[in-house]
């Protein structure tokens, strides 16, 4: 039985670029922006980094293949730089690479950096891309909103939730995230909105309207990790350590066996259970201080509350409406605005979630700082689509 990752790796420093429509910046510049902050936070120099992982999803319309663009932009001299891609969960994958390298003793200090430059593609929303020569023949040429919208109707059908009730709960998710994002100087969307604005927005993919969908942004985020011992030797006092890191990928069960009912994310349910076991958490709703989840769409956040075993199955929508996940609720979710408002530069998002939990744990979140001192933060980074997904759950906390 594996002993797990708990408390074996500490976060030495983190950085995050301002997200948004960064017409002013290239992907390389965004990488440097996030890295410079992380490096200063870590209090080290580039030569001390021994291995690096880069996450980027749309490399073909972005920085191109391989880890070389990372090594080149950051001038990482004579170390291995590896590119990882796992749909929208890529950011947590890069983090996993760096964390595992340190935990294995293969590197003392490792870097994870995620970047995406979506606003050079010309698209509103995510660009269309191939899913491989076989799946392109039999798959659907759909969009991300369309793939996730199906959660809503299936959820409504399975749990007997009427469309207007579900739409209201979904709208609450977005109103909350806009309120949080307004307080975040690095967020892409910083305007508060009201319920009617969400409910009356144009439909993107039935039943998701414009404000049920997250921002499509440029951005980069970065983590530098090491062992707790090295972190202390470098003068760090308040240590944030990794408590759990779990990734689960679909194997075709959802889309090819007639057992899954379409109303939840199977991979998230499994990854969350494993992460709690790894972190030694038995009552997540009480023990976790805050959540950063993959709210690519409002309905995704809503069902994720159930898939993380926070809300009872079928009751996520009422917990949302009760304000449980609002900034002043029992378990705040997306204090930084989430994908919805901080933005969603694909390869960076998993690291951006970790960045927010890291800031909150260290009491450095400014106007949006959680009042009760937090001790554990969970991030949930989801890739693919409900029928074929990869879920990454990371829990970090004060050592």
Partner 1 sequence: MAAETGILAYGAYVPQRRLQRAAICAAHAWFAPGLKGLARGERAVADWDEDSITMAVEAARECLAGINRATIGSLSLASTTLPFADRQNAGIVKEALNLSDAVGVLDVTGSQRAATSALIQALHAAAGAGRPQLCLAADRRNARAASEAELIQGDAAAAVLVGSGDPVARLLGTHSVSIDFVDHFRAAGEPLDYAWESRWIRDEGHIALIGKTLGEGLKRFGVTAGEIDRLVIPLPNRGVAEAIARAAGCRTESVADNLVEAVGDSGVAHPLLMLASALESARPREKLLLVGFGQGCDLLLFEATAAIGRMSRRAPLAASLARRQPDENYLRFLFHRGLLELERGMRAEAEHKQPGTTLYRNRRAVLGLLGSRDTRTGAVQYPPAELSVHTGEPTAGSHEDYPLADRPGRIVSYTADRLAYSPSPPLYYGVIDFEGGGRLVTEFTDASSESIAVGRMVRMMFRIKGIDELRHFTKYYWKAAPVR
| Closer of 197 and 255 to partner 1 (Cβ) | 255
CB of 388 to partner 1, least distance (A): 8
Least Å distance, CB 116 to partner 1, is 18
State the minimum distance, in angstroms, from the CB of residue 121 to partner 1. 8
**DSSP H stretches of helix in 308-363:** 316-321, 338-341, 346-361
Q: Give CA 255 to chain center in angstroms.
A: 24
Helix (H, G, I), strand (E, B) or coil at 249: strand
Whose Cβ is closer to partner 1: residue 349's or residue 387's?
A: 387
Q: Which two tokens stand for residue 73?
A: 């932009």
Minimal distance in Å, beta carbon 341 to partner 1?
20
Backbone angles phi, psi at 353, to 5 degrees: -65, -45
> Which positions ≥6 away from 363 have C-beta within 8 Å?
369, 373
Shorter beta-carbon distance to partner 1: residue 104 or 257: 257
Shortest Å, Cβ 167 to partner 1: 14
3-state SS of 33-97 is HHHHHHHHHHCCCHHHCCEEEEECCCHHHCCCCCCHHHHHHHCCCCCEEEEECECECHHHHHHHH
Q: Which is nearer to partner 1, 146 or 323 (CB)?
A: 146
In this complex, which beta carbon is closest to partner 1, that of residue 131 or of residue 364?
131
d(CA 239, CA 230): 11
Q: Which residues contact partner 1 by CB under 8 A?
A: 122-123, 125, 127-128, 130, 133-134, 137-143, 145-147, 149-151, 153-154, 156-157, 203-206, 251-253, 255-258, 261-263, 387
């Amino acid at each position: 039985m594996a002993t797990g990752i708990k408390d074996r790796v500490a976060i030495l420093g983190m950085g995050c670029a301002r997200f948004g429509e960064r017409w002013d910046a290239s992907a390389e510049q965004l990488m440097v922006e996030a890295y410079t902050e992380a490096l200063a936070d870590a209090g080290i120099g580039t030569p001390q980094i021994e291995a690096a992982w880069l996450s980027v999803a749309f490399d073909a319309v972005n920085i191109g293949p391989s880890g070389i663009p990372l090594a080149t932009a950051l001038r990482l001299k004579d170390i291995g730089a590896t590119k990882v891609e796992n749909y929208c969960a890529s950011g947590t994958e890069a983090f996993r690479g760096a964390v595992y390298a340190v935990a294995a003793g293969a590197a003392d200090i490792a870097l994870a950096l995620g970047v995406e430059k979506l606003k050079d593609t010309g698209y509103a929303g995510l660009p269309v891309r191939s899913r491989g020569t076989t799946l392109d023949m039999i798959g659907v040429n759909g969009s991300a909103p369309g793939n996730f919208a199906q959660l809503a109707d299936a959820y409504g059908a399975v749990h007997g939730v009427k469309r207007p009730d579900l739409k209201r709960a979904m709208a609450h998710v977005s109103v909350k995230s806009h309120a949080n994002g307004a307080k975040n100087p690095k967020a892409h969307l910083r305007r508060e909105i009201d319920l009617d604005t969400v409910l009356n927005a144009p439909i993107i993919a039935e039943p998701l309207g414009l404000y049920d969908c997250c921002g499509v942004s440029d951005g980069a985020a970065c983590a530098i990790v090491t062992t707790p011992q090295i972190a202390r030797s470098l003068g760090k006092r308040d240590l944030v350590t990794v408590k759990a890191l779990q990734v689960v990928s679909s194997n075709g069960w959802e889309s090819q066996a007639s057992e899954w009912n379409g109303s939840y994310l199977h991979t998230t349910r499994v990854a969350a259970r494993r992460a709690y076991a790894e972190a030694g958490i038995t009552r997540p709703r009480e023990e976790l201080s805050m959540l950063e989840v993959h709210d690519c769409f409002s309905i995704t956040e809503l069902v994720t509350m159930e898939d993380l075993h926070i809300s009872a199955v079928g009751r996520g929508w009422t917990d949302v409406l009760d304000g449980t996940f609002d900034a002043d609720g029992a378990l705040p979710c997306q204090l930084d605005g989430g994908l919805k408002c901080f933005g969603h530069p694909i390869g960076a998002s998993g690291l951006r979630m970790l960045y927010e939990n890291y800031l909150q744990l260290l009491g450095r979140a400014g106007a949006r700082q959680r009042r009760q001192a937090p001790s554990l933060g969970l991030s949930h980074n989801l890739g693919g689509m409900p029928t074929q997904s990869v879920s990454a759950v990371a829990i970090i906390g004060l050592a």
